[in-house]
A and B are shown apart, each in its own frame.
Chain A
Amino acid sequence: MTEPSRLEQGYRRVLACYPKEFRRANEEEILAVLLATAAEGRQRAGLAECADLLRGAIKMHLGMSRSPRPVLNAVRLMCAGAVLTLAVLATVLVTLGSLRSDFIQNFTAAQWHTVMLTQIVPVLASAPIGAGVWLWLAWANGRGYDWARPAFMALFGLVTTGLLLGVGEGTALYAPADLIAATVLWLVGLAVIVLIFSKTASPYYQQEPAQQ
């Protein structure tokens, strides 16, 4: 048996990013196509080709090629939710200065310090974790795990609680931009709930994961 070329080894490394079950069924076939379409004498996998394969691998991991349309759209929205969570973090950071100046007009610097420690720092610290949870649930829903929908409901409950607390506190604690970002995030969550609990989506969650 001949040694695989450097190009083939490169492609195999990228193809290793695909889910195991997909690779088992398709790796040799995709590799044959990659080698057939590669320019003669090429030694290394091209950047655009690798990016395309990685995009395909992410879609496969998120079940985006296998899930029904409502779940597919819900997965897209959950990815958007992760981005929005980071956007909320960014708006809090950007608006922190104006928030502080508004706050200390009515309260003392010591009270601001307490609010920072008890309310704003936890929000800033939890945002990256929140984004990770959105992505994790996008993966789980895309794969059709039966626990994924209740888990998303729980996340939506937290997002709703956060928004209600924000509205309750009003602009005394949150800048309008933060409330707008949180409302958009809540609306994304609501759209996800509608999609994953739709009639078309439900049978997908009742299959064995191996079939998905």
Chain B
Amino acid sequence: MQEATFLILTALADGSQHGYGIIAEVQEISGGRVRLRAGTLYTALDRLRVDGLIGVDREEIVEGRLRRYYRLTPEGTERLAAEAARLQANARAALARLKPLGVVT
């Protein structure tokens, strides 16, 4: 799973979000490192919808403009949990091997 995809799914893990909200959440989760642009975001959202990992929660009109909220599907939640566990296991293994070198505490 690409990092942007992982971060988008993570942004939706605790509730539905609209496009701008996802960009802001991803920036926050990544500590400001990843700033999604609109073109990248909507290509990823389209892919995730086709793969059945996210769905549209609701739509609103705010100041005359469409705001669409996205949510994780059960399949998306499952995939995110599996990916998070995989990353955690990898990180744990790396940290265990780095510990004797004294570069991590």
Q: Which residues on A are within 8 Å of B, measured CB to CB?
A: 22, 26, 28-37, 48-49, 52-57, 59-60, 64-66
Cross-interface CB contact of B66 among A29, A52, A57, cutoff 8 Å? A29
Q: Within 8 Å CB of A37, what residues of B?
A: 20, 23, 38
Is there an interface contact between A28 and B43, defined as CB atoms closer than 8 Å? no
Q: Which residues on B are within 8 Å of A, measured CB to CB?
A: 19-20, 23, 37-44, 46-47, 50, 62, 65-68
Decide yes or no: A52 and B38 within 8 Å by CB, A29-B66, A32-B65, A37-B20 being known contacts: yes
Is there an interface contact between A30 and B20, defined as CB atoms closer than 8 Å? no
**Additional 14 contacts, C-beta under 8 A, given A28-B66, A29-B19:** A22-B46, A26-B46, A29-B42, A32-B65, A32-B66, A34-B38, A36-B20, A53-B37, A53-B38, A56-B39, A59-B43, A60-B46, A65-B47, A65-B50
Q: How far is the CA of A195 from the CA of B62 in the complex (A)?
A: 44
Q: Within 8 Å CB of B50, what residues of A?
A: 65-66
Chain B at the A interface: SS class: helix
Q: How far is the CA of A49 from the CA of B38 in the complex (A)?
A: 8
